[in-house]
Structure 1
Amino acid sequence: MYVMRSSNRHNLGVAVFLLFCFQLLAIGAAQANPRYASIVIDVESGDVLHAENADATRYPASLTKMMTLYLLFESIESGNMRLDQPLTVSSHAASMPASKLWLSPGSTIRAEEAIKALVVRSANDVAVVVAEALGGTEGNFGRMMTQRARELGLQDTVFRNASGLPDNAQVTTARDMATLSIRLMQDFPQYYHYFSTQSFTYRGTTHTSHNRLVRNYPGADGLKTGFIRASGFNVATSAIRNNRRIVSVVMGGFTAASRDTHMADLLDRGFARLSMLQRGDWIARADVLGDRMDLPESPPASASQLASANTSPRRETTEVEQRLSFQSEMGIEMGSADDPIRVLIDRADSARPAAGGWAVQVGAFNNADQARHLASQAADQLASELSDVRVSVAEAEGDQRVFRARLVDLQESVAHSACRSLRERGMDCMVVAHN
């Protein structure tokens, strides 16, 4: 057993260096891809867990349809529209380019069918049908969208059409799209389930969603993807874990696959930050760049209003199993070698510690003896599995005196196995990088 005060200062220095490297890489990625932006928000607290170019002007592409749906839901709730109400297709709507349902002028589509077509098919012709039903003309509907956006707090967003088709004046930010995503869930929880729809059948043809994150990322249950050449590949995703919900937006992907992979990484890291914050281990923030983001699940937090929006129960699995399953099901291809989002993914991988650089943290205390006692207790519990496990009680620098109790110098797989064993014995723990 030993106290690592000077070593802890070295660790913090390494963390600062890694943060500096991350910033340089992020700057390089932004320069290589001026379309890239991202943000991750904890819905319950409103805390921003990650932001990169979050307030920079971007093209929304089909994320626009979330605003179209917001106004449609609002109309239904006010009684001005019914889910079974037929909406007439104009020649203008029918002329929209794909993606579309290929609606014929003079035909009709029910409002609920329109909702599913916008979510699953991202149908541009249907977006105009909704716009004309609510605003008379698409141009007037664009003005309605912008006005409502301002009222919702989307200060940097301007809408000109209902679909997200190219228009140089139609702009937004990652932060605004995250705000819109959250408002959709908060204001219309009764309709949020539509955003997890994976397929729908219209006039004998079945359409399947290409939102693979909702299908394959554990806990993801909405919202929307988008693409035009000017924007790159965009996505807004909401996921829930341990009764805590995260909303994240990624804009400017070079490919759908690299965008989805990067989104999965952001969500993993967001949930990991929440896990550490919920435990009150403020020190752990210094280790974020080095931590694998497949930490054991934290104790359930108080349920938020949005927790009930998750209507897809999932089998309980470890974070490692979930991550491997996600990568396998996604059939991940990273896109071209010069994809800036691939750079961010590679940066995250390279920041992970070498073999033996992992630890199981069992607590953080303001008393070194308490920390040492609990760490020793954990080592005793694992004596039959890890006979030579080392205990570390590291004091962190800061305004408060806090000691982290850890079992250190472990292989990654061993650390996860050890933490699972401790949790089965009733001891709380998490796996972290330890240099």
Structure 2
Amino acid sequence: MRCVHGQSGPALPAVLAAAAVLTALTASPAEARRRAHHGGGGYNPPYAAMVVDAKTGRVMHAVNEDALRHPASITKVMTLYLLFEQLERGKMDLDTPLTVSANAARMPPSKLGVRPGSTVTVEEAIKALVTKSANDIACAIGENIAGSEAAFAEMMTRKAHALGMTRTHYANASGLPDSDQITTARDLTILARAIQDRFPRYYRYFQTRSFAFKGRVIGNHNHLLGRVEGVDGIKTGYTRDSGFNLMTSARTGDRHIVAVVLGGKSGASRDNIMAKLVQANLPVAYAGARTTAPVIEVAERPRPAVVAERPVATRTLVASADEDDAVETTNSTGQPLDIAPRGGATPQSSPKWRAAAVGAVPASAQAYAPATTAAFPAANGKYASRLPASEPGEARAPAPREAASPAAKPVTVTPWVIQLGAMDDEGKAKSMLTEARQRSGGALGKAAPFTEKVTHGGTTLYRARFSGFSEAEAAQDACRALKRNGFTCFATRS
């Protein structure tokens, strides 16, 4: 399909007609999902979409734009953002070799299929991600920059938050299935603008139609390039849980939009939806001089008010099947996420969250920040790094266990407790507990909130905890329920 714009803007009936077709294409409830079964059929992914005028930041179209979704391989846009940063800083150049480890080489398809120990250049890596969406190369990029993919994912999350992508969390560099790899359509429009604003020199790689590598010619998965007028990138994505995703940039004349579609039922359906969004919105985008500032990340400074402290050396954390269930973190967004989809559409929470500095929302992103952001000022703050574990023999203040509510009776601490975090003010700790109970969906119905005062290196902190769990499994279950409602926590012995 080719969209042709022969006039300055479509007539209103044409816009309405396009909108009607789009509605018909996405008529299924966005917050409902039927899981795909082995053997195929019956999959109805949760749909979300957003179109933003890149010159003004004006939202031109939005459906479930703040609902949590899995980004799939659109993740690689952030992976490339951090790689472009290395190029910009002179730490790498396009000919720098990147070593492909055994871990990277065994990533599942889509992949370039290089052998462990071999190398690819940075430019080859860029093209492999843009065209083939190569998971092995995405992992290799992360390992070469940060030393491990897990450390790189933390860098990705910090960068996302610094850009104003407050509801995004990365767990890997590729977008391969992971229940903790979450984002929103709104956040991805921020990224779509940011990578162009920050790296106009390197953004051109997203226009690559094909890539020649060791005798093979690899085509781009983005089939709108060259088919829809104005489209100049940028990335497709698909997993069973995400549905078919697409991030697009389109410009013609003096107009420029970015658009995101998540949860398409098929690649063709997703492409058709995106084509209609471009056709309906690009001709009526703002054609004057840019009125909004570039989307650039804010400084990633620590904020001492909230920390997720490591447990003391004698404390044993809960082990789970993937042995990450006990990882302790601060709340990665500083705010409860009240947009978790229902009916199984919520990305299932597993314990891979790691502490990350949260940046303030840049002014350029505030123009289309979610309306709920203003209700949670903490979203514009930043979190401190974790405290080191207490050393043996360290002086520790007595740990009075005080009920979170002044009127509450003293809490009897059970063998297992849940900790949400540690605050520098007891009132903040109590507020966190109150909010968690309200948003827990009944998972904390029999739990008792309390604070625990701890002094570490001259700093006094107040742990925000819930008692009421005699078994590890019960504490874990309640903690998972909290995570599904936007909180982070860990279960530990009392």
**Which category of TM-score, normalised to the shorter sequence, fits these structures?**
0.5 to 0.7
**Selected match of 2:52 from 41, 48, 53:** 41
User: How far 1:244 moved relative to its partner?
Assistant: 1.0
Name the CA distance, whole Å, in 2 between partners of 1:26 and 1:125. Answer: 33
1:216 paired to 2:227:
yes
User: How far 1:21 moved relative to its partner?
Assistant: 12
Please name the residue that 1:166 is paired with. 177
Kindly provide the amino acid, as one letter, of the partner of residue 64 in structure 1: T
Identity %: 49
Name the CA distance, whole Å, in 2 between partners of 1:25 and 1:85. Answer: 45
User: How far 1:268 moved relative to its partner?
Assistant: 1.3
Please name the residue that 2:93 is paired with. 82
Cα–Cα, structure 1 residues 242 and 144, in superposed 2: closer, same or farther, change >3 Å? same
Please name the residue that 1:123 is paired with. 134
1:53 paired to 2:64:
yes
User: How far 1:215 moved relative to its partner?
Assistant: 2.2
CA contact under 8 A between 1:152 and 1:180: conserved in structure 2? yes
User: How far 1:20 moved relative to its partner?
Assistant: 11
User: How far 1:243 moved relative to its partner?
Assistant: 1.3
Cα–Cα, structure 1 residues 38 and 199, in superposed 2: closer, same or farther, change >3 Å? same
Name the CA distance, whole Å, in 1 between partners of 2:20 and 2:118. Answer: 58
CA contact under 8 A between 1:49 and 1:273: conserved in structure 2? no
User: How far 1:101 moved relative to its partner?
Assistant: 0.8
Kindly provide the amino acid, as one letter, of the partner of residue 115 in structure 2: S
Please name the residue that 2:328 is paired with. none
1:258 paired to 2:288:
no
CA contact under 8 A between 2:26 and 2:47: conserved in structure 1? no
Cα–Cα, structure 1 residues 82 and 21, in superposed 2: closer, same or farther, change >3 Å? closer
Name the CA distance, whole Å, in 2 between partners of 1:204 and 1:120. Answer: 16
Please name the residue that 2:211 is paired with. 200
* Secondary structure, aligned partner of 1:101: coil
Cα–Cα, structure 1 residues 170 and 132, in superposed 2: closer, same or farther, change >3 Å? same
Cα–Cα, structure 1 residues 256 and 86, in superposed 2: closer, same or farther, change >3 Å? same
Cα–Cα, structure 1 residues 253 and 151, in superposed 2: closer, same or farther, change >3 Å? same
* Secondary structure, aligned partner of 1:226: strand
Cα–Cα, structure 1 residues 92 and 184, in superposed 2: closer, same or farther, change >3 Å? same
The TM-score normalised by the length of structure 2 is: 0.51
Name the CA distance, whole Å, in 1 between partners of 2:146 and 2:99. Answer: 13
Please name the residue that 1:268 is paired with. 279
**Selected match of 1:69 from 80, 93, 97:** 80
CA contact under 8 A between 1:160 and 1:170: conserved in structure 2? yes
User: How far 1:242 moved relative to its partner?
Assistant: 2.2
Kindly provide the amino acid, as one letter, of the partner of residue 130 in structure 1: I
Cα–Cα, structure 1 residues 240 and 23, in superposed 2: closer, same or farther, change >3 Å? closer
Please name the residue that 1:238 is paired with. 249
1:108 paired to 2:126:
no
User: How far 1:67 moved relative to its partner?
Assistant: 0.4
Cα–Cα, structure 1 residues 90 and 233, in superposed 2: closer, same or farther, change >3 Å? same
Name the CA distance, whole Å, in 1 between partners of 2:216 and 2:45. Answer: 39
CA contact under 8 A between 1:220 and 1:238: conserved in structure 2? yes
4+ aligned runs moved over 6 Å, structure 1: 18-27, 303-306
For structure 2, the 5+ residue unaligned runs are 1-11, 34-43, 294-494
Q: Deviations over 1:278-302 (max 9, x none)?
A: 6xxxxxxxxxxxxxxxxxxxxx644
Please name the residue that 2:413 is paired with. none
Q: Deviations over 1:363-401 (max 9, x none)?
A: xxxxxxxxxxxxxxxxxxxxxxxxxxxxxxxxxxxxxxx
CA contact under 8 A between 2:138 and 2:173: conserved in structure 1? yes
Please name the residue that 2:200 is paired with. 189
For structure 1, the 5+ residue unaligned runs are 1-11, 279-299, 307-435
User: How far 1:46 moved relative to its partner?
Assistant: 0.4
* Secondary structure, aligned partner of 2:225: helix
Within 5 Å, give how 1:386-401 maps onto structure 2.
none
1:137 paired to 2:152:
no
Count residues in correspondence: 269
Within 5 Å, give how 1:370-381 maps onto structure 2.
none
Q: Calculate the aligned-residue CA RMSD, in Å.
A: 2.8
Please name the residue that 1:98 is paired with. 109
* Secondary structure, aligned partner of 2:116: coil
CA contact under 8 A between 2:25 and 2:273: conserved in structure 1? no
Name the CA distance, whole Å, in 1 between partners of 2:25 and 2:247. Answer: 23
Q: Deviations over 1:114-162 (max 9, x none)?
A: 0000000100000011000111000111111101111011100000000
CA contact under 8 A between 2:250 and 2:282: conserved in structure 1? no
Kindly provide the amino acid, as one letter, of the partner of residue 77 in structure 1: E
Name the CA distance, whole Å, in 1 between partners of 2:250 and 2:154. Answer: 31
**Selected match of 2:160 from 139, 149, 167:** 149
Cα–Cα, structure 1 residues 91 and 24, in superposed 2: closer, same or farther, change >3 Å? closer
Kindly provide the amino acid, as one letter, of the partner of residue 170 in structure 2: F
Name the CA distance, whole Å, in 2 between partners of 1:217 and 1:51. Answer: 21
Please name the residue that 1:178 is paired with. 189
Please name the residue that 2:335 is paired with. none
Name the CA distance, whole Å, in 1 between partners of 2:135 and 2:146. Answer: 16
The TM-score normalised by the length of structure 1 is: 0.58
Name the CA distance, whole Å, in 2 between partners of 1:20 and 1:189. Answer: 35
* Secondary structure, aligned partner of 1:236: strand
User: How far 1:65 moved relative to its partner?
Assistant: 0.2
Structure (1/2) with the larger helix percentage: 1
User: How far 1:305 moved relative to its partner?
Assistant: 10
CA contact under 8 A between 2:189 and 2:258: conserved in structure 1? yes
CA contact under 8 A between 1:57 and 1:173: conserved in structure 2? yes
Please name the residue that 1:375 is paired with. none
